[in-house]
Structure 1
Amino acid sequence: MINNILIVDGDRTMLQTLTGLLKCQGGFLDIHTATDNKMALEMVQTVQIRVVITTLRAEEPSRFELVTRLSREYPSIKVMVMTNNAQPLLRAKISRIPSVIHLDQTHDISMLTKRVFTELQIDYGGHLRGINLSTFLQMMELEGKTCTLQITSKDNVGYLWVQKGQLLAARENLSTGKDAALQIMSWKNVFIDIDYSPQTIKPEISIPLMMLIMESGQLDDEKNHTMKNSRVHRRYDLLIALDYNAKNVQRHCSLRDISLGGAYIETDQELNMDQTLTLTLTSPKLKSRCTIDGTVVRQDTHGVGISFKLRSLQQRQMIQAMISGSIKGDEKATPPQITGI
C-alpha cells in the first residue's frame, strides 16, 4: 500500500515543520506538499493521496473551501484539519464535514503522527498493528528471522520466540508451548512488539507453522460459534481512528471492534464505569457523520467496552456501514439486518 501524505499550508515555516515531523518517522510515509488550493487539487488528481493535512487560519479563508471539496469529491481521503484555538462556530462547521478530523494545533500536535499511522494502519518502529498474526509469522518464516515477539490483544499478553523463521516456544498466562501458541494465534487485532536482540530459549514446539495455523483456525471457528450463541450481537474486528467526547473534553482513540450493541475503544484517558461518552463515527460509504452515545461497561489496561444508546435509524445505518467495511472480503460473515427504531 502506498502511503502518500499531502500537507497543504501557505506558511512555508509550518509546511517545513510538519514535513520534517512526518519524514523522521522511519520512511513509512511519502510526503508531498502544496502551498495553495490549486496545487493541492492538482496533487490529489495525479497522486494516490491517502491523508491530507492542512491548517485553517483567518488569513486563508479559501482553505475551508478546499476541505469541503475534498470531502465531497474524494471521500476516501482522510483530511486532518489543524486550528489554533478555533472558535465554537468554526469547530461546529468542521464537525459537520464527513471524513474530516479536527486537531488543535496547541494541544494535539503531539497526536498528529500517531493519528496518521492509525488512519493508515501501518507499522512503525519495532511495533506492528493492524496485521494478522498468522500472516506475520509466515513472513518471519520466509525471511528466516530470529526474534522475540510480545503479542498484546486488549488485556491479554503473550510471548512467541522465533529462531531462523521457526516458532520454537510460547508463553501465555500459565500456558506454555503449543497450547500457548494456539491461544495467542487466535487473538484478533493484535499489537506486535518485536525484539531482535539474541535470546536463549529451550525449544518447546516442533510441529510446522502451517499445521499450527490450521489448528488455530479450527479453534477460532469453534470459539466464534460459541460466542455467536452466547452474545446478543456479534462483534466484528476493525481498526478505525475516531474522536469521542467525555465531560465536554474531545479526545482521540482507536476503535478496535464493533457490534450493533456496542464497541471497544483504545484510549489512554482514565474513564469510569457507567460514564457516558459521545463517539463521532464517520462512513466514507455513506458520506456522512453522526454521534452515538455509549456507556462504559468494561475496562482493561488498554481501553474500555462501550454499550451503545441508539436513538435513530441513522445511527444504526452508520454502525451497519462500519460493520460491512470490516467484513469486506469475508465470505463467512453475514452483516446483521437493520430494523427500524
Structure 2
Amino acid sequence: MKTIVIIENETVQLNALVTLFKQWQKKINIITATREQAAISIISKQQVDLVVCDLAIPSSFSLADFSLLTRTFPQVPCITLSEQQGPQPEQLIEYGASHCLLKPLDTDYLLDCAHEILEGSLTGTTEGIPVHSFLQMLESEGQTCTLEVTTLKDRGLLYIKNGELIGAETKSIRGEEAAHLILAWPETRLRLRHFNGQYQRQITKDLLSIIIESFELSSELAQKKAGITTGRHQLPLQHATTRGKEFPVEIGARIKIVFFDLEKEVESSLVGLVKDNSVIVENPIPETDLQHQIHGRRVMVKFVYKGRMWMFKSQLIGVTTSPAPLLFFEYPEAIHFHELRKAKRSSIFIPSTFHLEGEKELFGMLIDMSLTGSLCQIKHNNLQNVPVIDIDSTVVLRCLLPGISEEQKLYGKVKNMKIEQGETRIGVEFESLQPQLTDTIGKYLYSLDQASG
C-alpha cells in the first residue's frame, strides 16, 4: 500500500485534499501533518511514497521548511501547492519539487501528477542481484535515482546522478565509507527510489574503484568471521549492446521477471523476439494484476545463457489474452551479464617462475588468470623432463604484474595438471593474496574485458 503525507494546517483545505485522494484510490494510506518537523518525524519512521505540501499559506510551510524536507529526504518525491504571488515553479523545482501546482487548484491535474509518481516510478524491490551489479547497470544507463539497500539488520541509501554514485549513507556513517560497507553487505534487498537532486556530492572516486575497495572490505570481514583468507570475488558486471547483434537467449528459455511496482518476481518463458521492437514472454500472472497501468510498468528480466547470468531493464508495452496470454516488453538497447564461474579467466602472456618447496625453480608462462588463480605453462623437451608435481602442493609464482614495477610473489596450491608433448599446464589457486594484488589483478582483468568487448 502506498503512503502519502499531506502537509497542510488549514482545516478546510486539509479535509478537501484527504477526501480527494481517498475517493481517487481506496488502497492509499494518508497521513497528515501541519508543520515540516512533524512531516520529517513521520518520514523518518516509515516508508513514504509521496509528499503533498501547501506553500500557499506562509504561516503553514515556508520555502526554508520545504528545502529542509527535500534535503533530509532526497529519495521522497514532493508535489507543492502555491499561489501566484508565492514561490515560483522554477524555484521550487530547483529546491527539489517533482511537480509545482498553482492555486486555484486543478484537482484532476493533481491526481494525474500523483498517479505518475506512484504508479510510473521506479519504486519496487528485488533480490538476488548484487548491489555492485545494479550500480554498474545504472551507471551504463545514466540513471538518476536513489538505490535503497536493506538487510535484516541495516539499511543504506546510495544516491546516483546521471549514472554517477555521488553519495551514500547508512544509519551511522556517510560518504565513501558508507558505500564500501553497503556494497559488502550479503543477502540484500534492493529498492529503486526517487532522487530529487538535493544531495551534495560526497563521493568523487569512479565506481570501479569503489567496488574493488568494497571487495577488499568484504574479504576482510570474511577473514574475521571465518579465520581464513577468501579473495573470491565476482568480477564487475559487464555490458553489451543489442544493436545489430544476436540477442543472447534461445526461444523457450526460462526467465525471471521482477515487477518493481508489484514487488513481485515471477518465472516465465520466452516466446519470441522482434528485433529492436519487443521481447515476448508468456504471461505468468493473472490478467487482473496487469490490466491497469500497462504502458510504462517497469521490470527487470533475468535469465541464464551459456554460463552467464544476463539481465536487462525494460517496460511493459502490451498484454494479450488471445490466442495465448502474452506480455510484450520494450526491446532493450543494452544488456548486462555476470560470469557464473566464481571468477572468469582471461587469456594473458606473462613470464613467470614456478617454485615447489624443496625443488628447483622452473621457468614458464602464466597463460590465463582470474581473481582466484592462474594457469601456468611449463615447457620441456620430452616426457622424461616432466616435473613431479602433486595435487595440493604449495607453490610460489614469481612474475611482473601490469601496473607494479617490482616482481611479485603469488602463493597458491596446485589444483589440476595436464601433461602434453612438450609442455605441462598447471592450474594454481591463489592463497593469501594481498589486497593491493587483488586490486591490481581486478583492474587488469577488467581492462582486458573492456578491450576485447
| TM, length-normalised to structure 2 | 0.30
Q: Which has the larger radius of gyration?
A: 2
| TM-score w.r.t. length of structure 1 | 0.39
Structure ranking higher on relative contact order (CA contacts 8 Å, 6+ apart): 1
Greater fraction helix: 1
